[in-house]
């Protein structure tokens, strides 16, 4: 007779003991399941280790030199990678996940417009987007998120969570972000058309205005303290005057009562008693009047001093407001300038501190021939000059032409991508003539982190209120923009912007 093997595995379960019975017929099946389970666990552990190893390979930071403040970041859509640069070179890089098909992250030129460490989407089910750095007011942004290893977002650029946090704390508003179809890198460039500081007058003037503002703030604070002191002293002097006036009013009421008592006295004795009371009250009223005279004599100079102090404090406050606003304007004048030259409109636009300050026509040789998109950035001050770098981008088409307008091209996966060749950028600069007065205007304001963008594109509708220049490449997919754009449009300066969401 076949014997059954029993295996009692007793364990605590809600205060009860349970027994489990195993039939030998299922032994092989159980072993196979166990083997599969262990193999799956081992595979998961290996995958986790590989993921960690890949993270270590893909998330990199420079440790061989001091790291400066980020000046620009470049996202490669083909490589799904972001690289951050300071004035000496790259400092951080990490994998990303850009927009999926139909919601592609637009290639082009952007900058950080807003930062929010705890951001939630109001378009996609309140999705958590930690350490968000906005690139367009229509909703394209950098933020922490899941990285499946391929483009999967709704148009934003997802980064590893810890990398997004580190980048969030390292950047400032206005930092340039370039989204490249392929693998673009900045290269050094020297060309006479690149702006160089004309004088240090702006910086010296800003320093002088800032010193005046500090002095005005100090004077306003001091005048306010004088007014507070004068108010306190006048209040202290006013207290005994008010007290004496109250006592005099009471004495006046007693005098009136005594006079009524005299008039209505029914006997000589009552009348005499009322007259004695009247005499005493009259004497007290005389004393109060004397005290009031002395008190008011002491109070009046303090009231006069208070009026003078208040007027001086008000004048000092007005001067402080004017001086502080002048200092702010001078500080804004020291902010990096951004210059955008459009071949399509043959116009030059200048922005500073996210606001338009100049628009003027320029001359472009062979204006019907594509020029590409080139982003020049003032990276480092070298003695009296500024060292510039350039990143060149060319999308898949340029008004019916697929050739590079100015330089060599290498084939990308689905599109042509200009290599980091400064000769193409120099050729673009050679074709542009800027009026002398415009050059002088820019030279007075150019500083580190300033930029010049030359592009075939026109001014984007995304460029508007509180933005830098936004230059999407028209030859690249822009599903991420087209599917996000709210309405209506709102006019702002020489551009338009989309309402914040």
| Exposure of 20 in the CB half-sphere (CA atoms within 13 A) | 6
Same-domain status, 383 and 420: yes
On the question of pLDDT at 55 being above 60, the answer is: no
Same-domain status, 297 and 440: no
Q: Indicate which CATH number applies to the domain containing 231.
A: 1.10.287.1490
- Its sign, for the CA torsion 397, 401, 405, 407, is positive
List pLDDT tens digits, range 113-133: 999 988 887 766 667 889 999
Residue 120: CB partners within 8 Å, gap ≥ 6?
126, 127, 128, 129
Same-domain status, 376 and 266: no
Q: Which two tokens stand for residue 29?
A: 């099946």
Least confident piece of the model among 100-109, 227-236, 405-414, 464-473: 405-414
On the question of pLDDT at 359 being above 70, the answer is: yes
Question: Stretch 228-257: mean pLDDT, rounded?
Answer: 94
36 pLDDT band (50/70/90 cuts)? Answer: very low
Q: Which residue has the higher pLDDT, 384 or 214?
A: 214
Asked if the structure places residue 240 within a domain, the reply is yes
pLDDT at position 435 is: 93
421 pLDDT band (50/70/90 cuts)? Answer: low
Same-domain status, 285 and 388: no
**Tokens 């403040």 belong to residue:** 69
Asked if the structure places residue 121 within a domain, the reply is no
Asked if the structure places residue 141 within a domain, the reply is no
On the question of pLDDT at 265 being above 90, the answer is: no
On the question of pLDDT at 497 being above 70, the answer is: no
pLDDT at position 462 is: 87
Residue whose C-alpha is closest to residue 484's, from 98, 74, 133, 105: 105
Asked if the structure places residue 345 within a domain, the reply is yes
- Out of 304, 329, 354, pick the residue that ends a domain: 329
475 pLDDT band (50/70/90 cuts)? Answer: confident
Question: Stretch 368-375: mean pLDDT, rounded?
Answer: 94
Number of structural domains found in the chain: 3
pLDDT at position 222 is: 96
Question: Stretch 261-282: mean pLDDT, rounded?
Answer: 90
100 pLDDT band (50/70/90 cuts)? Answer: very high
Q: Is residue 158 within 8 Å of residue 362, measured between CB atoms?
A: no
Q: What average pLDDT is seen over the chain?
A: 80
List pLDDT tens digits, range 179-222: 999 989 999 999 999 998 876 667 778 888 999 999 999 999 99
On the question of pLDDT at 74 being above 70, the answer is: yes
List pLDDT tens digits, range 6-19: 333 333 333 333 33
Percent of the chain with pLDDT over 90: 56
List pLDDT tens digits, range 312-343: 999 999 999 999 999 988 888 788 999 999 99
Same-domain status, 292 and 231: yes
Same-domain status, 325 and 338: no
Q: Which two tokens stand for residue 3?
A: 């014997």
pLDDT at position 63 is: 58
Residue whose C-alpha is closest to residue 354's, from 159, 176, 216: 176
Helices (H), 264-348: 268-333
Asked if the structure places residue 5 within a domain, the reply is no
105 pLDDT band (50/70/90 cuts)? Answer: very high
On the question of pLDDT at 112 being above 90, the answer is: yes
On the question of pLDDT at 50 being above 60, the answer is: no
Same-domain status, 417 and 370: yes
Least confident piece of the model among 37-51, 62-76, 77-91, 442-456: 37-51
**Tokens 């600069």 belong to residue:** 429
Same-domain status, 375 and 265: no
Exposure string of 85-114, with b = 16+ CB inside 10 Å and e = fewer, is bbbeebbbbbbbbbbbeebbbbbbbbbbbe
Same-domain status, 321 and 374: no
Q: Which residue has the higher pLDDT, 228 or 119?
A: 228
Domain span at residue 455?
193-199+334-497
Q: How far apart are CA 246 and CA 475, in angstroms?
A: 87
Same-domain status, 283 and 357: no
Asked if the structure places residue 276 within a domain, the reply is yes
**3-state SS class at 462:** coil
Residue 283: CB partners within 8 Å, gap ≥ 6?
none
Same-domain status, 343 and 310: no
Q: Which residue has the higher pLDDT, 404 or 243?
A: 243
Least confident piece of the model among 94-103, 455-464, 486-495: 486-495
Q: Is residue 456 within 8 Å of residue 463, measured between CB atoms?
A: no
Q: Which two tokens stand for residue 20?
A: 């489990």
Same-domain status, 389 and 265: no
* Adjacent-strand bridge partners of 123: none
pLDDT at position 395 is: 47
Q: Which residue has the higher pLDDT, 60 or 248?
A: 248
């Amino acid at each position: 007779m076949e014997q059954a093997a029993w295996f009692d595995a007793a364990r605590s379960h809600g205060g009860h003991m349970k027994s489990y019975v195993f039939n030998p017929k299922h032994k092989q099946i159980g072993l196979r399941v166990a083997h599969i389970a262990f193999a799956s666990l081992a595979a998961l552990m290996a995958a986790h280790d590989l993921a960690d190893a890949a993270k270590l390979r893909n998330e990199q930071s420079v440790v061989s030199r001091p790291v400066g403040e980020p000046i620009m970041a470049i996202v490669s859509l083909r490589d799904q990678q972001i690289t951050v640069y300071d004035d000496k070179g790259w400092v951080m890089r990490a994998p990303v996940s850009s927009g999926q098909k139909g919601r592609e992250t637009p290639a082009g030129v952007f900058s950080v417009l807003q930062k929010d460490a705890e951001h939630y989407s109001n378009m996609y089910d309140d999705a958590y987007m930690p350490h968000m750095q906005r690139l367009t007011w229509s909703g394209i942004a950098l933020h922490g998120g899941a990285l499946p290893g391929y483009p999967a977002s709704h148009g934003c650029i997802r980064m590893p969570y810890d990398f997004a946090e580190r980048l969030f704390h390292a950047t400032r508003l206005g930092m340039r972000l370039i989204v490249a179809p392929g693998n673009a890198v900045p290269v050094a460039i020297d060309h006479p058309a690149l702006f160089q500081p004309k004088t240090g007058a702006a910086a010296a003037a800003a320093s002088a205005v800032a010193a005046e503002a500090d002095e005005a703030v100090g004077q306003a604070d001091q005048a306010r303290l004088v007014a507070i002191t004068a108010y306190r002293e006048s209040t202290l002097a006013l207290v005994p005057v008010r007290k004496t006036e109250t006592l005099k009013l009471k004495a006046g009421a007693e005098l009136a009562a005594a006079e009524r008592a005299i008039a209505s006295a029914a006997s000589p004795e009552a009348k005499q008693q009322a007259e004695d009371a009247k005499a005493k009250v009259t004497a007290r009223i005389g004393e109060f009047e004397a005290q009031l005279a002395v008190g008011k004599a002491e109070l009046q100079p303090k009231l006069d001093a208070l009026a003078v102090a208040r007027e001086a404090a008000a004048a000092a406050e007005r001067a402080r407001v004017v001086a502080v606003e002048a200092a702010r304007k001078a500080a804004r004048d020291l902010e990096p300038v951004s210059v955008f030259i459009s071949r399509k409109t043959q116009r030059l636009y200048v922005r500073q501190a996210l606001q338009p300050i100049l628009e003027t026509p320029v001359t472009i040789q062979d204006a019907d021939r594509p020029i590409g998109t080139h982003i020049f950035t003032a990276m480092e001050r070298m003695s009296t000059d500024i060292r510039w770098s350039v990143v060149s981008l060319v999308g898949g088409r340029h008004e019916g032409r697929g050739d590079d307008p100015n330089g060599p091209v290498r084939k990308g996966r689905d599109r042509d991508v200009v290599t980091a060749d400064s000769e193409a950028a120099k050729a673009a600069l050679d074709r542009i003539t800027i009026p002398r007065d415009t050059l002088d205007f820019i030279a007075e304001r150019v500083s580190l982190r300033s930029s010049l963008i030359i592009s075939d594109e026109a001014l984007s509708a995304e460029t508007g209120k509180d933005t830098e220049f936004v230059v999407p490449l028209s030859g690249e997919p822009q599903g991420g923009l087209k599917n996000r754009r709210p309405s209506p449009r709102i006019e702002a300066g020489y551009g338009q912007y989309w309402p914040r969401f």
